[in-house]
Chain A
Amino acid sequence: MGRRVAHAEGPAVSLLRTEGLSKEFGGVCAVDSLSFAISPGRVYSIIGPNGAGKTTLLNLLTGIYAPSGGRIFLEDADLTGRAPHEFAQAGVARTFQNLQVFFNMTALENVMVGRYRRERCSLATALLRTPALARAERTCREEAAELMRFIGLAEWLDARAEAMPYGALKRLEIARALATQPRMLLLDEPAAGLNSAEMRGIGELIGLLASRGHTVVLVEHNMRLVMGVSDHVLVLDYGRKLAEGTAEEVRRDPRVIEAYLGSALASDCSVGSATTSGGSAGGTAGSVAPTLH
């Protein structure tokens, strides 16, 4: 498990930083010149009413969208315009609002894929399965299994992904993301479609991760979850920064209240819709993700 104590200290240096980040689709600004910084070892939540540009922002922060303007820095490295796998290799991992689990594999293999960054080997090695590789694979398996137990998926070790319940799949995605040993973990509505018990579980998990020094970026509709775990909250509205601060500050911010009362219903039913989309997971790949470049 990646214990990055080094990053947990010295919140002065920001781990991820954006400058005037923008993304427009056919003239419509989904994200509008957004600048913010995420300091390491914290739970940083991004909230906002539906269509506020949360998921778009997440896609920008993981390279799935190329920004129309602005820059993205991971510490000093400029990642603007890089491909998703380059973001991943730089240490940015994420989960998806509608599940993107590899349903053609076992749960364990899903997590092992997360370790690709470290396990990758030359073609020759792979074809000949050198003893070294065999050994590496064994440790890979065991550590992946350990990670799954840590995430609370012990009973699903050998299960085929397609045979697992929705709640477990949500956790599986988190495990796969953690397996990349990210410096920053982005969770896109991890609670969407979960019952209250499962949601509490996710909340505890996020807390646990934070306590272990992980930097978690949380996009979530469920206010109880957000307010419970967040150190810092960014409120988006129409792709712009509406407010920013601790959970407390944000909760008291009149603009936020106004924006939310305006669309309280929207946010509720959006949780509902997330459930349905999550239910038909796998098939809905097309809807989240645009073409990779």
Chain B
Amino acid sequence: MSGQLAQYLLSGITIGAIYALVALGFSIIFNASHVINFAQGEFVMIGGMTTVSLTGAGLPLPVAMIAAVGLAALVGLALEKLAVEPARRAPVVTLIIITIGASILLRGLAALVWDKKLHTLAPFSGSAPIEIAGAALLPQSLWVLGVSLAIVLALSWFFGRTLLGKAMLATSNQGVAAQLVGINVRRVLLISFGLSAALGAVAGILITPITLTSWDVGIMLGLKGFAAAVLGGLGSGPGAVLGGLVLGVAESLSAGYLSSAYKDVIAFVLMLAVLFFRPAGILGGRAAERV
């Protein structure tokens, strides 16, 4: 039985780490622009699909990865410059629709450029499961976890230590003030999109050996990642990771002990509960938007 529980926890952590990586992307953009980018899942897809097709074309994995991350970043920059920037002063709904339009567009392009089939990558360090407390864990999951943590550390350093990072934080808290003290807000937003797109791509590459990838893999991942980000507190890096892990563990525990059919419902109910009773999220500093 305890082995069973251990397995549920490990499975939860595996899924959770995936959600966490996607959630981080949401948080970065939200931090800088207070925009929820519904195309975040598509960055994940681009990362995975590009890597797959490039390795398929014979490129070595590392090269393919770098190219994929680069491509995603470019798409992110383009999205900000061409779609979000022009509508920055528009109401939340408009921005939501723009990013959703972008996600549909990107998905459509992916289906044209590549195909509508499922693809996968070989796990980076073999598929021999690691035995922990009578439970099996894929080495790939460790990769996902490790990289998420590394990214969180890197981000906290970036936002806490570097000038640009501080500028981005300032922009998120006090757009006007930031402008007054000479921060180039537009540039910050641009960078935030590029950054989170690249991050999404990294996620897409890392998780492909586990979840497989396809032209429309972004939909569900985007939704769950979003939920995780909200759960942990929009805009908080550690919150995103925690939110992801909580969501993942909640899912696998409810799949194990309650009902696998309703595990997603349970995940979203959890999210609603957090929204109702702690709108700022588990680790969210700022409270829900004010009057």
Q: Which residue of chain B is the closest to A284 with respect to CB atoms?
A: B176
Nearest B residue to A290 via CB reads B290
Please report whether the interface of chain A is mostly helix, strand, loop or mixed according to DSSP. Answer: loop
A292 at the interface (CB under 8 A from B): yes
For residue B287, which residues in chain A have a CB less than 8 angstroms away from its CB?
Answer: 291
- Say how far A280's CB is from chain B's closest CB, in angstroms: 8
Q: How long is the Cα–Cα vector from A137 to B233 in the complex, in angstroms?
A: 46
Q: Is A257 an interface residue (CB 8 A)?
A: no
**B163: CB under 8 A from chain A?**
no
Complex-state Cα separation, A289 to B288, whole angstroms: 14
**A289 to B291 Cα, complex, angstroms:** 6
> Using a Cβ cutoff of 8 Å, how many contacts connect chains A and B?
12
User: What residues of B have a CB within 8 angstroms of the CB of A290 in the complex?
Assistant: 290-291
- State A214–B222 Cα separation when bound (angstroms): 58
A79 to chain B, nearest CB (A): 20
Contact with A along B254-291 (1 / 0, CB 8 A): 00000000000000000000000000000000011011
A285 at the interface (CB under 8 A from B): yes
Which A residues are in CB contact (< 8 Å) with B291? 285-286, 289-292
- Cα distance A286–B34 in the bound complex, in angstroms: 15
Describe B's contact surface by its main secondary structure: loop
Specify which chain B residues have a CB less than 8 angstroms from the CB of A285 in the assembled complex.
291
Produce 1/0 per residue, B153-196, CB < 8 A to A.
00000000000000000000000000000000000000000000
Chain B residues with CB under 8 Å of A286's CB are 290-291
Which A residue's beta carbon lies closest to that of B289?
A286
Q: Closest approach, in angstroms, between the C-beta of A85 and any C-beta of chain B? A: 13
Question: A285–B287 Cα gap in the complex (Å)?
Answer: 16
220-260 of chain A: CB within 8 A of chain B: none
* Contacts of A65-106 to chain B: CB distance below 8 A: none
What residues of chain B lie closer than 8 Å to A289, measured between beta carbons? 290-291
Whole-angstrom distance between the Cβ of A284 and the nearest chain B Cβ: 9
Q: Which of A17-75 contact B (CB under 8 A)?
A: none
Q: Nearest B residue to A64 by beta-carbon distance?
A: B291
Contact with A along B69-105 (1 / 0, CB 8 A): 0000000000000000000000000000000000000
- Least CB distance, A43 to chain B, in whole angstroms: 29
Nearest-Cβ distance from residue B70 to partner chain A, whole angstroms: 38
Interface hits, A123-137 → B, CB 8 Å:
none
| Nearest A residue to B287, CB-CB | A291
Contact pattern, A 271-293, Cβ under 8 Å of B = 1, otherwise 0: 00000000000000110011110
- Least CB distance from B278 to A in Å reads 14
Closest CB-CB distance, B219 to chain A, in whole Å?
34
Cα of A291 to Cα of B287 in the assembled complex, Å: 10
Residues on B with C-beta less than 8 A from A292 are 291
Collect the chain A residues with CB atoms within 8 Å of residue B288's CB.
Answer: 291
Across the interface, which residues of A come within 8 angstroms of B290, CB to CB?
A: 286, 289-291
Bound CA span A258–B290, Å: 38
Taken together as a complex, chains A and B put the C-alpha atoms of A291 and B291 apart, in Å, by 6
Residue of B nearest to A288 (CB): B291
A285 to B290, CA, bound (A): 9
Looking across the interface, which residue of chain B has its beta carbon closest to that of A100?
B291
Q: With the chains together, A291 CA to B288 CA distance in Å? A: 9
CA A222 to CA B291, docked complex, whole Å: 28
Q: With A and B bound together, what is the CA distance between A289 and B287 in angstroms?
A: 14
Cβ of B180 to closest chain A Cβ, rounded Å: 11
Mask, A196-222, CB within 8 Å of B = 1, is: 000000000000000000000000000
Q: Shortest Cβ distance from B156 into chain A, in angstroms?
A: 25
CB of A14 to closest CB in B, whole Å = 31
Once bound together, how far apart are the Cα atoms of A260 and B13, in whole Å?
A: 62
CB of A1, distance to nearest CB on chain B (Å):
30
Q: Which residue of the partner chain B has the closest CB to A283?
A: B176
CA distance A290 to B288 in the complex (A): 11
Min CB distance B163 to A, Å, is 27
Alpha-carbon separation in the docked complex, A290 to B287 (Å): 11
CB distance from B285 to the nearest CB of A (A): 14
Write the nearest CB–CB distance from B89 to chain A, whole angstroms: 10
- Min distance, Cβ B174 to any Cβ of chain A, angstroms: 11
**Nearest A residue to B291 by beta-carbon distance?**
A289
CB-defined contacts of A291 to chain B, threshold 8 Å? 287-288, 290-291
12 contacts between A and B (CB under 8 A): A285-B291, A286-B290, A286-B291, A289-B290, A289-B291, A290-B290, A290-B291, A291-B287, A291-B288, A291-B290, A291-B291, A292-B291
List the 10 closest A-B pairs by CB distance, nearest first: A289-B291, A291-B290, A286-B290, A292-B291, A291-B291, A285-B291, A290-B290, A291-B287, A286-B291, A290-B291
Please give the residue numbers on chain A whose beta carbons come within 8 Å of chain B beta carbons, in ascending order. 285-286, 289-292
Known contacts A291-B291, A292-B291; 10 additional CB pairs below 8 A are: A285-B291, A286-B290, A286-B291, A289-B290, A289-B291, A290-B290, A290-B291, A291-B287, A291-B288, A291-B290
